[in-house]
Chain A
């Protein structure tokens, strides 16, 4: 018996005010040895100057503190690239951030050695240099594959970090709006800007597995995401139906049959994200409303209406899933806290176990005091725990070599 939590939360996040919009942004995964659980990092590409012919931009690094939740004072570093960031993909295991600019691709590292600054890596990105601006880039879950979709519709999958080209589809499918790699790195899904279909490829074999079409003329696909939950093998596609609202359609991954659709919003869905454990989805629509959906029941668990007033252009869950970053044209970069159920923490298990052990130790002690009849030792209650003294003191063989003396 599930109760729907359609809580309209007051906006409980923070915003960074700025004059210029954000092109794209992403969370940086936390350092594996980091003891600071309350800090996280965001990299974003800011537009610094807009003109008709060219825009320039810079990269910004933000340091987000979970306790304060304040982004305004969190800006810690700025890299002026002179060119606009088209898309960014951050390696899930901290291998760096691949940034695609209008004329170049660079890899940035964030690490203790660079003093919490963005530093261009020495790693050679030759295969990525001449392919032009990439509209969409994404790493697979284990960080071994990087998929990129160019402005010309050229779709590529590279192995990381060797950057060997595994998959190459130059056929213009038109501007690629959305690409995603499945959890096990086997499939690649892509939706062109027209939204009329979604292709799914087998990456290793470079063959098309299936093409999912709209079921009627009114329907358009928006964005695609594979499920990141290993127990639920699904492909999620956002669907906008003129007049009937928009929602998420679910396809299974064996026969690629449509399992169904669920409508969530009156307005078209403009951005889509999944949490790292695959249990939550987030959708942002053209009216600036962000909704958090629990995959198990496909129900909305949280709605945020006052973070943005125009269409949401970007959504990203933080690596631990506690907060959600979003951006729109009018109010760049806000972070929304999530109402999460209290989970058992690890230390609580240990406390429980320890108390059970101590409890049983007490029981054993009581048993110990009263258990003479059970043990039935031949020499009674205080039988020493060793053979009789004769065994130690009484024999010549004791004093051969090999004794403790």
Chain B
């Protein structure tokens, strides 16, 4: 009788744990969801901004943002993210991370709403205030990113840590999808209410004045996930956890404690001195360079290279898709139709490739290991990128090959997420010694953001048509889409090569990986 009762209790316990883990994933992941939504939603509305504020009757083309403006609008949030990561990282150490939650999320909510309410009397005031608020929105996002990562650690347990982290990170894919979906819904609703002819039929009439509301609403709706994140985080029970045990810092904590206690036997004095000497390498010491220097180079370069490819593609998908012909030429659509078609195309790509990529990582990361997944990811990205860039003109010019192009393009995203995008986030948290772990993770993340900024700006210029006259107004001639895609393929290939600098972490204890277990062999613990 008692036995049966105990069985029931333990089954309930297990069920409770699974449900608890699910809610923990959603709550911890809401931060990432919000970040992805905010960073991504700009890409669906930049064309609309061009039509609204840059219409030049003499060009006979729909207005479009000049290169520097487009780069500014797309990139300012990324710059804010970089600044925010540094500022809140420093502040978090001083104050304790929990106190910083309120500040970052409040900033994000206020700036989402404010960017939608950008001062509107002249075009210049709109664009300037938009950039101002997008910068501070990025600042809040940058501060929130490491907090989300910390919450993840507090809720994971040792066994399922890899899969848990991957699942939380997958909320980013959901955020991208949500951004595209919201754009679809808003633009379709407005298009329905204010239907207009296409640009070629009626240049001025194709842009209703109400189109101005569309981009503002899309931005303002970004405040909702931020508020949800705030609410859920406040409601989350305080987990009392030995995070040191979860993150594998217990040995480091024990070593630090040993150093400040008294030595009981004289014979131990030498050992303690050795521990003190050996353990004391800082970030800029020879010791670190010898043991982890190549690892740091590996994590930084792979994250950097990945983000160049990932962000350039995410933000400029529509240019590629237009060049290929999957999106109709701008002149054949009205303003709202264009937003609708762009968002729909981006939602489809996200749904069919980005989001599944994340979930495949969740499923396979513990079985295949981070190293294999990252290698495979980069390799496939290189293969697919070359596969679609080398026969680019054939694929582009023949209508029947459009599907092939889209499929190949989608596969590169799939393998970006079932691959380096997820692993470059997880690995730095596992291979560096505990004391330097957050610093090294921060450096790798910052180099990733640098790659994102380069990708965002660089692709914009590089992808312009190389024939004079065919590029978008205001841009210099570039290398053309085909050459840019080939360059991206080469970058992915470099990422593949640099991955060999990073060690495999699956199945090995954290102490083995960081080399801290050498202490065990040489310095037995006190009796």
Interface: A184 (CB within 8 A): yes
A383-B205 in contact (CB<8A): no
Cα-based distance from A245 to B288 in the complex (angstroms): 41
Q: Is the CB of A391 within 8 A of B132?
A: no
* A298 B242 Cβ-Cβ under 8 A: no
Contact (A391, B244) CB under 8 Å given A232-B253, A385-B123? no
Stretch touching chain A among B50-58, B314-322, B456-464: B50-58
In the complex, whether B3 has a CB less than 8 A from a CB of chain A is no
Does residue B120 face the partner (Cβ distance < 8 Å to A)? Answer: yes
Query: Which of B159-167, B192-200, B478-486 contacts its partner?
Result: B192-200
Residues of B within 8 A of A367 (CB): 128
Chain A nearest CB: distance from B421 CB in Å? 29
Does chain A have a CB within 8 A of B263? yes
A257 part of interface (Cβ distance < 8 Å): yes
User: Which of B131, B260, B525 has a CB less than 8 Å from the CB of A298?
Assistant: B260
B99 contacts A349, CB within 8 Å?
A: yes
Collect the chain B residues with CB atoms within 8 Å of residue A129's CB.
Answer: none
Q: How large is the interface on A (under 10, 10 to 19, 20 to 34, 35 or more residues)?
A: 35 or more
* Complexed CA–CA distance, A299 and B237 (Å): 33
Whether the pair A142, B238 counts as a contact (CB closer than 8 A) is yes
Q: Are B241 and A184 in contact (CB under 8 A)?
A: yes
Chain A residues contacting B254 (CB-CB under 8 Å) are 234, 252, 259
Chain B interface: which of A19-27, A111-119, A368-376?
A368-376
Determine which of B57, B99, B526 lies in contact with A346 in the assembled complex, contact meaning CB atoms within 8 Å: B99
Chain B window 94-128, contacts with chain A (Cβ cutoff 8 Å), 1 for yes, 0 for no:
11000110110001000000000000111111111
Interface string of B505-527 (1 = CB under 8 A from A): 00000000000000000000111
A296 to B100, CA, bound (A): 23
- Which residues of chain B have C-beta atoms less than 8 A from A376's C-beta? 66, 68-69, 474
B258 on the A face (CB < 8 A):
yes
Judge whether A141 and B94 touch: CB under 8 Å: no
Q: How far is B68's CA from A259's CA once the two chains are assembled, in angstroms?
A: 60
Interface members, chain A 234-269 (any B CB < 8 Å): 234, 250, 252-255, 257-263
Which residues of chain A from 180 to 195 have any CB-CB distance to chain B below 8 Å in the complex?
182-185
Also in contact, A141 and B240, with CB within 8 A (given A376-B474, A385-B123, A387-B52) = yes
Q: Which of A261, A372, A379 meets B261, CB within 8 Å?
A: A261
- Contact partner of A230 (CB less than 8 A), chosen from B202, B243, B525, is B243
B243 proximity list for chain A (CB < 8 A):
230-231
B104 CB → nearest A CB, Å: 10
Inter-subunit contact A378/B128 (CB<8 Å) = no
Residue-wise, chain B 369-400 has the 8 Å CB interface mask toward A (1 for contact) of 00000000000000000000000000000000
Chain A interface helix/strand/loop/mixed: loop
Interface size counted on chain B using CB atoms at 8 A: 70
B245 contacts A375, CB within 8 Å? Answer: no
Q: Which among B120, B126, B209 has the greatest number of chain A C-beta atoms within 10 A?
A: B209
**Bound-state Cα–Cα, A371 to B241, Å:** 53
With both beta carbons as reference points, the residue of chain A lying nearest to B243 in the complex is identified as A230
- Given A297-B260, A361-B132: A388 touches B122 (CB 8 Å cut-off): no
CB-based contact A397/B127 at 8 Å: no
User: Does chain B have a CB within 8 A of A1?
Assistant: no
Give the contacting residue for B245; candidates A233, A260, A296; CB below 8 A.
A233
Residue numbers in B under 8 Å from A350 (CB-CB): 103
Interface membership of B487, Cβ < 8 A? no
Residues 269-284 (chain A) with a chain B CB within 8 angstroms? none
Give 18 A-B pairs besides A185-B240, A233-B250, A260-B263 with Cβ atoms closer than 8 angstroms.
A215-B527, A231-B249, A252-B250, A254-B245, A258-B527, A298-B257, A298-B260, A349-B103, A368-B125, A375-B123, A375-B127, A384-B121, A385-B125, A386-B209, A387-B52, A387-B55, A388-B204, A403-B194
